[in-house]
Structure 1
């Protein structure tokens, strides 16, 4: 077992796992540091089923373990191991990872996961009209574009062809060719607001204007179908000529049909793909492409053929897309994943797309309600005056005298933030693009983000106070890391480097490290008596095991097996019925096998040299050092056990 995992496991064993307040008494102290009954009782009960050694279920013995553990943690702190930078960095990294579960709104996350999965079961085909608009556009510009998109909706609702309107007015560059048609897509393929509008619009209907970071959209849903899952295919591709060239295009068509004929005649698809396919990203792999679903490729024709194939190894006829001619082979169809199978991937996608804003906004809203904020309005007005138009040119600088801004700006709970902190935040955000206008709106915008950041930071830093279970897990990990560093320093390294101590320990305990009688042998076995007799004859002639195997294992048939080496008495490799004597045995049957044994040497039982059992000696020496070390710790630290309280604990547990 990895030593660090061992230490962290021990730490878990002795951590607080129940968090409701319950009556507790001091069970013992280590240098006046109290350790309580509730922790001991909870830990003992929690780990009762995990302990295989019955002796460890004995409460007196368990208390010894518990006290020993706490002694080691006290020693680690006394040595200052908690100040080690590596320890602190690892603890900080772990806290950052653990805190992620608390710095989110689990209810909103759950709702988004369920919504995303439900949507992923369907595929929508839609067209859209886009009028582009900057995310931070002025209100008057936003209103102007909104009126334009409303006018287009009126025309579409009145019966004008949506495709024609898209081709004429949409500012999506592809609309000129595809008339706004986006093909089929499922959840997580479009920006969230666009996706939501599409899934909330009925087939044949046109959505209300939808705002995304690209601008305003109108969405017309033309079809909805069940999600077809994913597919893995291989293809052979001949690319369309880069320029208009009828002869080259005709040659490609002829060649693809010739390749198809070869496949029909039984030639391997993979070999033909390697030889002829012009898709260099897949030809070396026999034409195999990465797994994909609807809407993930830029060719609807290619996807249509891929999903039309039904059975693995089924091969399509040659077909043409905008990229060239193809022949396709189905490798595997992948059904839609279950919720549990898709959950981890959806969580990752949610964290990367606009959905994450809903989670963040929800948490920010809760924190603002949890920690009422008091703002110095006079100072806020002063800060607004200090920010000039130069901010938009990334040329604004802090006021020459910042001392006048150092008074309290915002306060909440136990946090106090001065005005200079906000000014420095404004300076750090100056180079961001798309700054709101005018200056008053800009400062309000950044203040809101600054406040949310301060609330989140305060909340994060106080998770231990907010959540007893978080504090307990952190304490568990903190002690586990300390214990690992302490054991490594005091026990493990010493057991490996203290050569004289290890030799002395081996010598003093030599009776524990003994060889049984050993035999240096060659063992030949076979299920056939006549083969075993032939092997016996060859061994008598002095042939070696490899020569005998070469002579008797012919035509791909393994007639004999040979094992050689030094084996202790009772080893499974040795036949049980042979009385080992130096020299060659007779053929002996044991079960379904016939054995012949050549005994080269017999070594009598005796003590093992240190090099022959070093691993075991090191482990035993570590245990010896630890036992003596704990005894020494009891001398170094003052341990006082409240025996009366311990008797109460015993009675409580036995009930």
Structure 2
């Protein structure tokens, strides 16, 4: 593997990234990927550390992480861009609208914005991102690397003035127009300090904290890695120890103490048992004294951390409470996984039974297959209605109404219910061309081609909400059973004390 990564490094230097990617990337054992820009805590620490230490246009030496061997080429570095809050209107590549492709539709919407129409209203009516559409297109604040779409992030961070709106642009998900609401630079270190400390503790770089803790405990407990008794210990090994013929028989006193932590003694026999376990995971051949010294250090580290954890109530109360909270959280997660999530996922018969018993909750209300015409002008909509009553050809009507570069009317074809944001309140489902309706600061004329009666959703149509509802029922049943089994008693004195402290702040 190492020789292979060395050869790939040479090819990367001589032939360039694109050539190596095209020839060797298989998505299985060899990955050659453009990672774009990323910031701290987005990658494992060993990977991140090498990338940040490599200069622009240079290729790193091979290095190893838990995922395998790597070489990286750094194309660019830049300071953090801070955080932005934006709204967007998206037209998906997988649209239901048969009248237009996503690029044509986004350009029509952009024309409406240029003509002075409200961005948020257009997002509610036409954006294919259902989650943000109901909020007028607004997204949660994000930083570089948060969304996984470099083209989208670049467009968002390119906006500088509050209320500024981008031109249409393409991402992997569809076409977008975005509006800037807020842009924040990097916050001061003192503001971020607590958050960074939490990130470090959750990250693989916490191993450095672990090492620092061990070094501190070595001093506190007066334990040393160097031990003169190890020489006697090593001499008792048979010469073929490292040739996979393990014979850990000792003539030395079995009860001889190697080191102490407070009142706890660790003897030859304890180290022997540790080595027997080590045999299974460490068959790499080394010099005998080097091997034993390395394992002795690992043995001390394990025992010193184990003692510290077991005595946290004496050593560090705050840390003890944190560990307890973490362990209880894991227990809760494992309980929910076993009793709820996996149960729902694996029990297809019970899931189908739940669907059959609750069919009345999974209903398509009456819907229409319709073409919806929208305009900002009442006069244009009235004229459109007259044209539509005489002529069914949408293309002819478009040419008649959308002239001189103006987007006077926008057409949408879809299957919708009365609760859809594009349908005016009080609209009567009736085949044919409707009257003109005022809705969402615009005028609508709707041609109903077909009325689809109320019906029950099939299992596949309702599967997502069925699974969610079944999980919710399982969770309620689990909590009820636990409440019956375990008595909960509230310490009102402590509760009142906490309330008093919160109110004082």
- Using the size of structure 2 for normalisation, the TM-score is 0.50
TM-score (norm 1): 0.39
Name the structure, 1 or 2, with higher relative contact order (CA <8 Å, separation 6+): 1
